[in-house]
Amino acid sequence: MKDFVYLASQSPRRRQLLEQIGVRYELLLATPDEDAESLEHVLPGEIPLTYVKRVTHLKLEAAVKRMKTRNLEPAPVLCADTTVALGRVILGKPENAQDAVRILKILAGQSHRVLTAVAVASGHRRSLGVSVSKVTFAPMKVSEIKAYVATGEPFGKAGAYGIQGMAAAFISDIQGSYTGIMGLPLFETAELLKNI
């Protein structure tokens, strides 16, 4: 068994979290012609848990195919996907500043769920785990939301915020996995890696 995993994620936070638990990794990133973002399209009527599992599975299979196409030495492949949900409504990555403001206005003064699925492929085996956490935002003034969006931090992040950044100043309560909210639940990840 190899002493590293392929990490199929562009997220610097996921890299930091793997390093935190001492997992060696090599990046296995999509090329521009792969259109990895299209995998995150929400199907009509899809509920958040089904969505996050489906997208993570698609990302994993795309990464395994990438490893084989590039003739890389076989090793476990790890990927994850995070979604933010208010009830059954999935709040994805903001398309622009106006969209980020819209999403954050919805989250302000509310509790929402953050669902992160993590999956590992090793040979023909596939394992998937899901972390579900609850995050509560304090009420926010529109001026505060616009100032936060102007920092650029909300872009590329589900729900238009990163808990490990400036948004932490607006979060009054969390229940669940802090690392899951960041984008890679370390307990679930460690369990999956132990099993392979």
Residues catalogued as catalytic: 81
| Neighbouring C-alpha atoms within 13 Å toward the C-beta of 112 | 28
Instruction: Using CB atoms within 10 Å of the CB of residue 102, give its burial: 0 to 12 exposed, 13 to 18 middle, 19+ buried.
Output: middle
Tokens of 128: 């998937």
Strand-strand pairing, 111-122 and 77-86: antiparallel
Please spell the DSSP secondary structure of 119-170, one letter per residue: EEEETTEEEEEEEEEEEEEPP--HHHHHHHHHTTTTTTSGGG--TTTGGGGG
Residue partners of 50: CB distance under 8 A and separation at least 6: none
